[in-house]
Amino acid sequence: MLNLITRLARLTAIVGGLVLVALVVLTCVSVLGRGLNTVGHSDLLQALSQGAADALLATGVAPVNGDFELVEAGIAFAVFSFLPICQLYGAHATVDVFTSVLPVRVNKWIMAFWEIVLTALVLLITWRLFAGMQSKMAYGETTFLLQFPVWWAYAASFAAACVASLVSLYCAAARLGEAITGRALMPYSEGSSH
């Protein structure tokens, strides 16, 4: 089961990473287009060479239409895409100033408790994403510039949140098993400590 959960979490993170890279490229292209368009319309370039300004503007260089809408939808998806791998590897930041002096058995119960709480929160967020998606579908809300249905972004985020929910449930069960048995069931136990 751990291999399946690990593959699923990694696949989701890879897809989220690819979306994030695409958003970075989109943003760079849009900023470059906006900058070149501004230069083409500048009084300085038009005074120096009207022909160069006209040639630059004739290329159609401009910011990407609806770039903010795409970035907003893509970032939401990417955040939910990285949550499963973060959950699986226990990569959430922890503060163990007080718990570092406690016995290992007590720390396992504390980890199990917080894993269950985090799982409940992930499930709650997933449920509310589904409710939001249904609401956006019912009202037919679209984005302002590109006019694509807003529920598409909710659906993509919901799919990633479902994977996060599945991974969270697995991790909560494994942490609880660790607390009960005292054995290490999660090979990725060491997270970021601060």
Structural contact between residues 66 and 146, judged by C-beta atoms closer than 8 angstroms: yes
Report pLDDT digits (tens) over 162-188. Answer: 999 999 999 999 999 999 998 888 876
How far, in whole angstroms, is CA 10 from its chain's centroid?
13
**Burial class for 139, CB neighbours closer than 10 Å (0-12, 13-18, 19+):** exposed
Kindly state the tokens that stand for 173: 């069960």
What are the tokens at 100?
Answer: 């570092």
With the C-alpha atoms ordered 121, 16, 167, 96, is the resulting torsion angle positive or negative? negative
- CA angle 103/194/79 to nearest 5° reads 115
Domain definitions of the chain by residue range:
2-181
What secondary structure letter does DSSP report for 99?
Answer: G
At 66-98, the pLDDT tens digits run: 999 999 999 999 999 999 999 998 887 777 778
The whole-model pTM stands at 0.86
Given a cut of 50, whether residue 194 has pLDDT beyond it is: no
Residue 13 phi/psi, 5-degree rounding, is -65, -40
| Structure-model confidence comparison of residues 107 and 132, the more confident one | 132
